[in-house]
Amino acid sequence: MSPLTICLIIFALTIIAFLSGKFSLATVALCSALALYITGCIDQTVISSSLGNVNGIVMLSMFTVSAGFNKTQLVRNISSAIVKIANGSLRKVMIGYIVCAALLCSLVGSNLIPFTILYPLLAGTVEDMGISPSKVMFPLGLTVICCLGIIPLGSGAAMYAQQNSYLTANGWTGELMQVTDIFMGRFPVLIACVLYSIFIAPKIAPDKPPVEIKQTDNSSAQRALNKEVMSPFHERCGYIIFFGVSIALLFSAKLKIPAWEIGLIGALLMVLTGVLKPKEAVAAMPISVWLLFVGSLCLASALNVTGAGALIGGYIAKLAEGSHSSLWIYFLFFIAPFILTQFMFNQTISTIFTPIIIQTCIALGVSPVGPMICVQAAALTAFMSPMATGTVPYYMAAGGYDMKSVLKQSVLPALLFAVIQIVWLSIRFPLY
């Protein structure tokens, strides 16, 4: 068999394994990379360059920097301030917690961790006001899922680097993604989500939970609330290093300092100043995410080198041939991952569609930057089904929701965010 055929077979088997859920994403990605190497689709240079990819260093470093910031008392202080300012007003409570959630999910690069930290605080606040948690848990879950990685601070500032690695591995030779591109492509949804979660979602949410509210594993919240208070020196260092690194990443081109150096320096400073212990710094690095990244780069390189990616992209490009409509193409790029992510893990969908979208854009002769943001946004509308992301079962349990109530609350924001995202991207990142 030719390398192209072998690569297509391995690619198909990788997708099947991703969707089966029987193995971790990292395990599947590494097995795929090994199979590609053994069959000669890639050589050891591709594997070594993927393992040592500088954007992988940015990713690991920024998670470490974010872990140092997460040791500060900021979240607890904000929660206390919200209770004082709200003075019994549900709307004021929602403004405080929703804005905090939108910031936190980008800072720590996760939607589950911010939810597990904030939901006990929010539940306790509204219960003291005589309001059921069923009125507020869906808006909180909606915010942390949809707003993940939009604000270019902390872990959110490192997302563009990961996307650039996929671009180069897939053979794109044009302009790469800039650190602010994801924010510029998705901020209308950020604004829409925050406003919807504050003013509309609580009105649609049930007054009483349809099913019994269940206790969930809130160990993350307990660790956040009961963590040891750092000394004033370490507290200040946590803030200064975190925001200093984030700002430096925004201006890395003007500073002429590579992003990986900025991230690595920030991670080391968190340890050298004592904000993080060495063991905490190592534990903060998401090795499974990094291994998935490495395996995905190897697969992307194989798709590019063997021509399999161009073949797949060419077939998809035929759907858009002759239209020359950015709106239509963005709709095509959004709709498939948007539907599938409701039934499959959102990270899986993003991993599968990213190389396909890049190769399709190359075949069309247009920049993949906007369409990549489109796929990411579509994968992060994963709030309609407990199969989409781990946060959904959490907010269902915390709010006492059944599937009927989840769907009732989900349809309107899903359609609203989809329309906003497709229209805005066609304006901000026109393809023609």
Tell whether the torsion through CA atoms of 363, 187, 183 and 386 is positive or negative: negative
Helices (H), 273-307: 278-284, 287-306
Answer yes or no: is pLDDT of 87 > 90: no
Residue 408 backbone dihedrals phi, psi, to 5 degrees:
-60, -40
From CA 370, how far away is CA 177, in angstroms rounded?
9
pLDDT-above-70 percentage for the chain: 92
**Interval 345-370: pLDDT, tens:** 777 778 888 888 898 899 888 999 99
Q: Decide: 204 and 125 in contact? Cβ < 8 Å.
A: no
What the block records as the tokens of 354 is 């990213």
Q: What is the mean pLDDT of residues 391-395?
A: 82
Q: Decide: 71 and 119 in contact? Cβ < 8 Å.
A: no
Q: Which pLDDT belongs to residue 367?
A: 94
Q: Which pLDDT belongs to residue 223?
A: 54
Identify the CA nearest to 170 among candidates 362, 379, 405: 362
In the three-class reduction of DSSP (H, G, I as helix; E, B as strand; rest coil), residue 171 is classed as coil
Q: What is the DSSP string of 104-119?
A: HHHHTT-SHHHHHHHH
Residue labelled with tokens 């498939």: 336
Residue labelled with tokens 């650039």: 164
Q: Decide: 33 and 295 in contact? Cβ < 8 Å.
A: yes
Q: Which pLDDT belongs to residue 220?
A: 47
Q: Decide: 376 and 369 in contact? Cβ < 8 Å.
A: no
In the three-class reduction of DSSP (H, G, I as helix; E, B as strand; rest coil), residue 401 is classed as coil
Q: What is the mean pLDDT of residues 374-393?
A: 83
Greatest mean pLDDT among 97-106, 298-307, 348-357, 413-422 lies in 413-422
Q: What is the DSSP string of 52-107?
A: T-HHHHHHHHHHHHHHHHHTSSHHHHHHHHHHHHHTT-HHHHHHHHHHHHHHHHHH
**Interval 210-263: pLDDT, tens:** 888 765 544 544 555 556 778 889 999 998 998 888 788 778 778 888 888 988
Q: Which pLDDT belongs to residue 313?
A: 65
Q: Which has more pLDDT, 102 or 345?
A: 102
In the three-class reduction of DSSP (H, G, I as helix; E, B as strand; rest coil), residue 408 is classed as helix
What the block records as the tokens of 252 is 């890395």
What the block records as the tokens of 432 is 């023609």
Give how far Cα 253 sits from Cα of 77, 260, 327, 403, Å: 34, 12, 31, 47
The CA angle 382-384-385, to the nearest 5 degrees, is 90
From CA 414, how far away is CA 405, in angstroms rounded?
14
Under DSSP, the state recorded for 381 is -
Domains of the chain: which residue ranges? 3-428
What confidence category does residue 392 fall into, taking pLDDT thresholds of 50, 70 and 90?
confident
